[in-house]
């Protein structure tokens, strides 16, 4: 087997390279002209003209769109040398629509050059990890932005080489690699600043490495040299800076800060702070018809989440790269989709590790499956039958059959137009005739016929696309739903634990009273609690808004409500506050049950060792309590994922999958109403997601015995 | 561990007060509405206290809260639906719960996982098929349909919890009964069931509360005012406000309070037991 490993690997890399190139070539050919392409085309044309006329000193003062350094634009200029000379593309403000009339003869070579750079990145990645190469090769966002006349392709490649060279240096400790790394960092900076975050990731990794080896001093020296070389290269590759370095550098850097806070298009886009995550769940497949064959982006993202721990163990710097880049993008106000290209390389690597993680678990499960097969006594199984049969019948009728029926409905186009036919057996007829091949599958297109039709699984991709990326709007219900579950549970857990700890101190006055008071929100049905908060946050007659009316626009209430309305992210707290209110008592109770179990002796021991309150909490209470809290956290997480009444009461009709399903279904509701089959598809997607969550619950509560049995 | 200092006591008490305010503020908002006799529709100006303290809203709501339906009818519907659903879920689930608690049989693990998974599904996930199935059976708009629907939501949860209840009873007690010559069924009826009953009752209580406070899915199934539950009538008042409704918001406030009070009492009494059940125990 070993003998074949290398050839197979090479074959795989070649295959990835072929896939990557064919997808990029197709994109170069078919993508319509996008925002900014005219700008960078013009920038390139200026350089082409300078080269043709041998006007080398012209480089000193040429940099169209000076907010970005010139290197990537010079490369575009070089690519146009072989093309016929055309008039300069006209200067247009950044707010203008894409210029659809760029000369085809220029678009092709410029795009192809970028695509080649993007292709080289894939090949390089495939050599390191073929699976990761495959992920990057098929990642539609990456394909799009490296195959257009954008500035992404070159820095994406050079930033990756920066990391590779650094890793070689880390392994072999040869200075040559360090210098290479610095050179490529400088080149990256000379193309697009944003890609330099890779440098920060390298510095963190380097520092951690030096710290563990207690070699901080040599690290500082080397890092300084590395930085100086990188800066020097940046300067050399940036002739625009030569005549007026400080002024022009300032100009370009300040431009971004100002653009981010005041540009009209940034404000108009109104993206919430978590928009980068939306882009990670998104695919431009919805924007460009007939360019991309399929959209693995969301799957690459999900696999990357799974692979993070494994990647961290293998090569920390890639995880740091993802982390630093994401953190910046979360806080930076400009949130254009192309920004995620700064970390799609490590993302692909993490996705590959995710596949490896899943594969290992599958193998382990398979092995354990054979070991755990214990013998069951026939006698006992026979005794179980009289108990099982009636229960199973009930369970089958009330629970299993509806779910199976739901699968049947999801494979039809049953909706309010075909309601009569459906109720008179049309659903079964369509399903039966379809599944036995008597009638062909009618491709699901959302249209409404008055006869139920068999659509097979064709509605699934459509509905999933709708959920995952809002069908092109860049707003992912699925991501919001997951983020909602995570954030609200963290808040609930935090406050619940905090209150439990406060009440747990010895000699707290009125402890019983406080606890009884804090349980109230839990005891109030969710719908009623939501109404109580709606009574505060409602836009016209909510308490807050009435207060703003009464005390004026400059009062606290006025300012608060104004911010609430204008910010693309702040509205989230009108949901998080009720969720926190409703959910923290449960966590408080769970935490205080847990605290009661921790033996007092542990604290005596900690006190004898001279631990202060902070240390005791960090090293004694928390590690003992967390495993006891874990089941509660997951249970609440699942409930938050399914949250329905809160969103329904607030008229946020597509907040979670459950809310969306209800409102798509509701015959008198929004979203067209009465789309029964679509609702069934959403429900089945929910069931599939919950299978993952419940498996997690099952595994963790098994390991820790759970609060109840402790 | 020693008692906390006065300084810490003050800090603790002020933090707790702050959280207490957070807890009470929205509740107070509702109470203020409920007791304000001056409201003609929705509130139009900011007030922290009611403009005119009055109990008329309560009296009105206790008479005819929704359209011309009497409060007693709504309450009766609520009780029928909630009791019916809880009872049905318990009765239908009990034998399966016992089987999973006491016996080993093929595919037991997979069965447990199926129960746990279905217990975690949102009610909405069952809504679609049940709506269509009950429509086909032509009973969708009846109270009985609501009983079936809510029982179906609660069944997996009840099975899971009753199983835990049976498991908590030591096997030795049952074995003693066997030695006396009792069969499986008699042992269950005379020994296990009585011991597990309190815990089963709590499972039923949770199912009851779920049905008692459900409104949205109820409205999908039922369309006649006579078959509406209390919780559903609240939602109807809210909805009617959007279409320029006629009832003052004090009605909404007082109905909310009336509905909540029994639930709050139940939660205060059974807090830790409820918590235990809602945590699903731990899987095997």
Per-residue pLDDT tens digits for A318-358: 999 999 999 999 998 888 999 999 999 999 999 999 999 99
Cα A593 to Cα A576: distance, rounded to the nearest angstrom: 25
CA A166 vs CA A133, A235, A583, A702, B129: distances in Å: 20, 21, 47, 43, 58
Cross-chain Cβ contact B164/A549 below 8 Å: no
Write out pLDDT tens, residues A442-480.
Answer: 888 777 888 888 988 988 988 888 888 777 777 889 999
Q: Does domain A472-709 bear CATH number 1.10.3720.10?
A: yes
B114 and A CB contact within 8 Å: yes
Say if residues A582 and A616 touch (Cβ distance below 8 Å). Answer: no
Interface contact A400-B128, CB threshold 8 A: no
The answer to whether B264 contacts chain A (CB < 8 Å) is: yes
Q: Contact A323/A134 with Cβ under 8 angstroms? A: no
- A644, pLDDT greater than 70: yes
Interface of B with A in 119-158 (CB under 8 A): 120-133, 135-136, 148, 151-152, 155-156
Is the CB of residue A522 less than 8 Å from the CB of residue B278? no
Q: Nearest by CB to B282, from A527, A533, A708: name it.
A: A708
Q: Considering only CB atoms, which chain A residues are within 8 Å of B103?
A: 380-381, 383-384, 387-388
Q: What's the pLDDT score for residue A54? A: 92
Confidence check: pLDDT of A706 > 50:
no
Q: Between vectors from CA A304 to CA A301 and to CA A308, what angle results, nearest 5°? A: 145
Q: What CA–CA distance (Å, rounded) separates A436 from B43?
A: 60
A618 Cα to chain B: minimum distance (Å):
16
> What tokens appear for A291 in the block?
């360019």
Q: Tokens 């030591």 correspond to what residue?
A: B170
Query: Residue with structure tokens 């032509």?
Result: B138
- Coil, helix or strand for A454? strand
Global ipTM: 0.89
Residue A710 pLDDT > 50, yes or no? Answer: no
Given a contact cutoff of 8 angstroms between Cβ atoms, the answer to whether A188 and A159 are in contact is yes
- Residue B281, pLDDT score: 59
**Confidence tier at A371 by pLDDT (50, 70, 90):** low
Mean pLDDT across chain A, nearest whole number?
A: 88
Smallest Cβ–Cβ distance between B4 and the set A505, A680, A707 belongs to A505
Q: How many CA atoms lie within 13 A of A191 on its CB side?
A: 23
Residue B15 has pLDDT above 50, yes or no: yes
* pLDDT band, residue B243 (cuts 50/70/90): low
Domain assignments of chain A as residue spans, ordered by start: 2-92+99-356, 389-457, 472-709
CA atoms in the 13 A half-sphere facing the CB of B159: 32
A500 has a chain B CB within 8 A of its CB: no
Percent of chain A residues past pLDDT 70, beyond the cut: 97
Is residue A26 classed exposed, middle or buried when 0-12, 13-18 and 19+ CB atoms within 10 A define those classes? middle
Contacts 24+ apart (CB under 8 A), B180-187: B184/A383, B184/A386, B184/A387, B185/A386
Quote the CA–CA distance of B141 and A667 in Å, as a whole number: 14
Model confidence over A107-156: pLDDT tens digits?
999 999 999 999 999 999 999 999 999 999 999 999 999 999 999 999 99
Question: How many H helices and E strands in chain A?
Answer: 34, 0
Of A486, A478, A467, A452, the closest CA to residue A696 belongs to A486
Residue of chain A nearest B270, judged by CA positions: A523
Q: How far apart are the first and last CA of chain B?
A: 36
Q: Dump the DSSP string for B166-192.
A: HHTS-HHHHHHHHHTT--HHHHIIIII
A638 pLDDT exceeds 80?
A: yes
Q: Which two tokens stand for residue A470?
A: 């809002």
The predicted structure's pLDDT at residue A701: 66
pLDDT of residue A237: 93
Q: Look at residue A695 in the predicted model and tell me its pLDDT.
A: 82
Domain boundaries, chain B: 6-54, 62-278
Do B279 and B164 form a contact (C-beta atoms < 8 A)?
Answer: no
pLDDT of A199 reads 96
Interface of A with B in 505-544 (CB under 8 A): 505-510, 514, 516-529, 531-533, 535-536, 540-541, 543
How is domain B62-278 classified at the architecture level of CATH? Orthogonal Bundle (1.10)
Q: For residues B181 and A192, which has the higher predicted lDDT (pLDDT)?
A: A192
Residue A419 has a CB neighbour count (10 Å cut-off) of: 18
Taking alpha carbons only, the member of A510, A626, A619, A623 closest to residue B15 is A510
For residue A451, the model assigns a pLDDT of: 87
Least confident of A603-617, A670-684, B26-40: A603-617
pLDDT at A704 over 50: no
The answer to whether the CB of A499 falls within 8 A of the CB of A580 is no
Q: pTM score, two decimals?
A: 0.88
- Count of A-B CB contacts under 8 Å: 306
What does the pLDDT look like over B163-204, one tens digit per residue? Answer: 888 888 888 888 888 787 778 888 888 888 888 888 888 888
């Amino acid at each position: 087997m070993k003998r074949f490993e290398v050839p197979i690997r090479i074959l795989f890399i070649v295959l990835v390279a072929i896939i990557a190139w064919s997808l990029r070539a197709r994109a170069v050919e078919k993508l319509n002209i996008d925002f900014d392409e005219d700008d960078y085309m013009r920038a390139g044309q200026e350089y082409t003209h300078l080269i043709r006329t041998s006007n080398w000193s012209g480089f000193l003062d040429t940099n169209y769109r000076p907010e970005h350094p010139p290197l990537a634009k010079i490369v575009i200029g070089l690519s146009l040398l072989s093309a016929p000379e055309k008039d300069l593309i006209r200067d247009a403000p950044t707010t203008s629509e894409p210029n659809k009339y760029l000369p085809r003869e220029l678009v092709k070579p410029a795009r192809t050059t970028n695509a080649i750079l993007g292709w080289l990145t894939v090949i390089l990645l495939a050599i390191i990890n073929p699976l990761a190469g495959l992920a990057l090769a098929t990642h539609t966002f990456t394909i799009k932005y490296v195959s257009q006349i954008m500035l992404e392709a070159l820095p994406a490649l050079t930033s990756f080489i920066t990391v590779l060279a650094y890793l070689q240096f880390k392994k072999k400790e040869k200075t040559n690699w360090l210098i290479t790394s610095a050179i490529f960092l400088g080149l990256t900076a000379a193309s697009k600043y944003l890609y330099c975050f890779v440098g920060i990731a390298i510095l963190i990794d380097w520092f951690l490495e030096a710290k563990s080896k207690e070699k901080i001093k040599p690290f500082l020296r080397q890092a300084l040299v590395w930085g100086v070389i990188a800066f020097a290269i940046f300067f050399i590759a940036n002739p625009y800076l030569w005549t007026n370095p400080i002024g022009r550098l300032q100009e370009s850097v300040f431009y971004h800060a100002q653009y981010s806070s005041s540009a009209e298009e940034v404000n108009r886009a109104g993206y919430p702070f978590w928009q980068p995550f939306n882009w990670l769940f998104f695919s431009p497949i919805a924007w460009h018809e007939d360019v991309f064959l399929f959209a693995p982006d969301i799957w690459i993202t999900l696999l990357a989440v799974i692979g993070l721990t494994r990647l961290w163990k293998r090569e920390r710097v890639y995880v740091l790269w993802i982390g630093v880049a994401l953190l910046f993008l979360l806080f930076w106000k400009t949130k254009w989709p192309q920004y995620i290209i700064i970390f799609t390389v490590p993302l692909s690597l993490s996705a590959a590790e995710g596949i490896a993680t899943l594969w290992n678990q599958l193998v382990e499960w398979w092995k354990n499956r054979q070991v755990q097969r214990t013998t069951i006594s026939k006698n006992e199984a026979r005794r179980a039958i009289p108990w099982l049969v009636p229960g199973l019948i009930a369970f089958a009728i009330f629970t299993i059959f509806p779910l199976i029926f739901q699968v049947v409905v999801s494979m039809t186009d049953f909706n309010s137009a075909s309601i009569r036919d459906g109720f008179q057996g049309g659903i079964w007829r369509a399903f039966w005739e379809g599944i036995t091949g008597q009638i062909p599958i009618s491709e699901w297109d959302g249209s409404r016929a008055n006869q139920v039709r068999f659509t097979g699984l064709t509605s699934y991709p459509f509905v999933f696309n709708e959920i995952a990326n809002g069908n092109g709007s860049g707003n992912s219900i699925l991501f919001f739903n997951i983020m909602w579950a995570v954030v609200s549970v963290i808040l609930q857990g935090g406050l619940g634990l905090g209150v439990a700890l406060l009440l747990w101190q010895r000699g707290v006055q009125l402890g019983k009273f406080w606890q009884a008071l804090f349980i109230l929100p839990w005891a109030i049905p969710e719908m009623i609690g939501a109404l109580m908060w709606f009574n505060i946050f409602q836009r016209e007659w909510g308490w807050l808004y009435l207060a703003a009316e009464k005390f004026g626009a400059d009062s606290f209430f006025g300012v608060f409500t104004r911010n609430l309305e204008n910010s693309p992210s702040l509205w989230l707290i009108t949901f998080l506050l009720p969720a926190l209110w409703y959910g923290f008592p449960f966590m408080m109770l769970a935490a205080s049950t847990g605290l009661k179990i921790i033996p007092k002796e542990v604290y005596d021991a900690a006190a004898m060792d001279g631990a202060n309150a902070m240390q005791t909490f960090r090293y004694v209470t928390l590690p003992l309590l967390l495993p006891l809290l874990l089941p509660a956290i997951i249970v609440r997480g699942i409930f938050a994922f399914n949250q329905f009444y809160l969103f329904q009461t607030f008229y946020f009709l597509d907040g979670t999958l459950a809310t969306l399903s209800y409102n798509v279904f509701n015959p008198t509701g929004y979203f067209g109403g009465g789309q029964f089959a679509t609702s069934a598809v959403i429900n089945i997607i929910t069931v599939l997601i919950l299978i993952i969550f419940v498996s997690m619950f099952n595994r963790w509560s098994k390991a820790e015995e759970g609060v109840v049995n402790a | 561990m020693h008692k906390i200092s006065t300084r810490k006591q003050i800090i603790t008490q002020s933090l707790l007060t702050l959280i207490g305010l957070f807890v009470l503020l929205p509740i107070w908002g509702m109470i203020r509405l409920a007791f304000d006799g001056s409201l003609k529709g929705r509130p139009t100006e900011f007030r922290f206290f009611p403009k005119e303290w009055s109990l008329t809203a309560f009296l009105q709501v206790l008479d005819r809260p929704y359209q011309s339906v009497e409060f007693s009818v709504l309450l009766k519907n609520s009780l029928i639906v909630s009791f019916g659903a809880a009872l049905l879920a318990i009765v239908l689930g009990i034998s399966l719960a016992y089987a999973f608690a006491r016996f080993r049989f093929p595919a037991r693990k997979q069965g447990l996982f199926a129960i746990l998974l279905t217990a975690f599904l949102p009610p909405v996930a069952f809504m679609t098929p049940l709506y269509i199935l009950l429509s086909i059976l032509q009973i969708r708009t009846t109270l009985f349909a609501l009983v079936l629907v809510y029982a179906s939501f609660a069944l997996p949860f009840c099975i899971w919890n009753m199983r835990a209840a049976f498991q908590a009873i030591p096997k030795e007690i049952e074995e003693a009964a066997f030695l006396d010559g009792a069969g499986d069924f008699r042992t269950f009826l005379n020994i296990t069931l009585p011991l597990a009953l309190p815990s089963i009752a709590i499972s039923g209580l949770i199912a009851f509360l779920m049905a008692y406070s459900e409104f949205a899915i109820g409205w999908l199934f039922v369309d006649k005012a006579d078959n509406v539950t209390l919780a559903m009538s609240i939602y109807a008042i809210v909805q009617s406000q959007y279409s320029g409704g006629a009832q003052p918001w004090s009605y909404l406030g007082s109905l909310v309070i009336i509905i909540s009070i029994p639930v709050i009492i139940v939660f205060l009494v059974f807090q830790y037991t409820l918590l235990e059940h809602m945590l699903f125990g731990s899987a095997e």
